[in-house]
Amino acid sequence: MKRLLIPGGSGLFGLNLAMMKHGSMEVFGTVHNQILPHAPFTVRQSDLTQMGAVSRLIEDTKPDLIINCAAVASLDACEHDPGLAEQLNTQLPAEIAQKAAALSIPFIHLSTDAVFDGQKGNYAESDLPNPINQYARTKLWAEQVVGEVNAEAIIARINFYGWSLSGKRSLCEFFYNHFRSGKRMNGFIDLFYSPMLVCDLIDVLFQMLEKNLHGLYHVSVDEALSKYEFGCRLAQTFGFEQGLIEPVSWKEAALSAVRSPDLTLDVSKLKAALGTPLPTVADGLERLKQQSQDGYRQRLMAVGG
């Protein structure tokens, strides 16, 4: 059985990846402070910023594939501690990528649509990034250095949603929780993106591995929708009361950080490389609903105890 190493195994992406693959692969997920007492995969507690930690981890687990999910994802946390953000979002993936290259281990690094400023939308891989915050800057630096030290790596710019350990990490959970409790909420009509369900995204990444792709790719749905429209479509899929969402401008919401208005991605390069249709928003929302109905959401949350 092949071995999969997931630095950042307790985050939204990492945990979903581990839960999906633990039956078909031997999965090792790293955590720092998070405890996962009921994980069905092997959990390794490690501070990967410590000297030698990455080398020891890879030598110990002997992975056949590494998918890096470790990051400081909070915009506010990155602004508050830019040094830590650079350490985890840039230096760590560079070290993992370099080690993977030296050992000829396939490596996927997860980046973000936030490397763009959102003034244009429908961004292609050839468009010039313009990050507007520390989170986005550190992720862009990681793209550059990973590409330099590991030419065979897949660097995927993504935007995803799905069920998380806390039940509060994803935009879909924000809408779902409010709908379930009958609470009113805001939905931004002027923030546009191309979100893919995390489990659909994982499937696509493994298709990319099978095709032996490498380099930079935009990996998202081939659609553009506002955050408000996403909430409405989730309501329609689950049968919730759509009227609970109030359509508002993000500029009226007194948010602490500036937002990029249009982070939609052009996925023409990926579609041509795969030669198959990509999952749609409708596909993802139906799968999200099925996961809720078949107990996947509850099983994932129960991993934390």
141-192 confidence digits (pLDDT tens): 999 999 999 999 999 999 999 999 999 999 999 999 999 999 999 999 999 9
- Measured in whole angstroms, the distance separating CA 208 from the mean position of its chain's CA atoms is 16
pLDDT at 75 over 90: no
Alpha-helical regions (H) of the chain: 12-21, 53-61, 75-80, 82-86, 92-102, 134-149, 171-181, 198-210, 227-238, 268-274, 281-293, 296-302
**Could you count the other beta carbons within 10 Å of the beta carbon of residue 224?**
17
45-56 confidence digits (pLDDT tens): 999 999 999 999
pTM, to two decimals? 0.96
CA distance 84 to 79: 10
Averaged over 13-23, what is the pLDDT? 97
pLDDT confidence band for 293 (50 / 70 / 90) = very high
Report the pLDDT value the prediction gives residue 258, as an integer from 0 to 100.
72
Report the pLDDT value the prediction gives residue 256, as an integer from 0 to 100.
63
What is the total count of domains within the chain?
1
Q: Which of 68, 144, 54, 73 is nearest to 108 (CA)?
A: 68
Q: pLDDT averaged over the chain?
A: 96
98-148 confidence digits (pLDDT tens): 999 999 999 999 999 999 999 999 999 999 999 999 999 999 999 999 999
Helical packing angle, 53-61 and 92-102, nearest 10° = 40
Percent of residues in the chain assigned helix, strand, coil, to nearest 5: 45, 15, 40
Q: Can you read off the two tokens belonging to residue 242?
A: 């759509």
- What contacts 210, CB < 8 A, 6 or more positions away? none
- For residue 160, give the CATH number of its domain: 3.40.50.720
Residue located via tokens 């023409």: 268
Q: β-strands 225-226, 192-193: how paired?
A: antiparallel
258-287 confidence digits (pLDDT tens): 779 999 999 999 999 999 999 999 999 999
Report the pLDDT value the prediction gives residue 253, as an integer from 0 to 100.
78
Q: Residues, the chain, total?
A: 305
**Contact present, 300 and 9 (Cβ < 8 Å):** no
CA distance 44 to 46: 6
pLDDT confidence band for 62 (50 / 70 / 90) = very high
Tell me which residue range forms the domain holding 114: 3-302
pLDDT confidence band for 257 (50 / 70 / 90) = low
pLDDT confidence band for 295 (50 / 70 / 90) = very high
**Contact present, 153 and 103 (Cβ < 8 Å):** no
DSSP per position, 64-82: SEEEE------HHHHHH-H
- What contacts 260, CB < 8 A, 6 or more positions away? 114, 116, 117, 118, 119, 132, 191
Angle CA 169–285–251, to nearest 5 = 55
CB contact burial 7-27 (16+ within 10 A = b; e otherwise): bbbbbbbbbbbbbbbbeebbb
Q: Which of 7, 135, 140 is nearest to 72 (CA)?
A: 135
Q: Which of 153, 169, 267, 170 is nearest to 221 (CA)?
A: 267
Percent of the chain with pLDDT over 90: 93
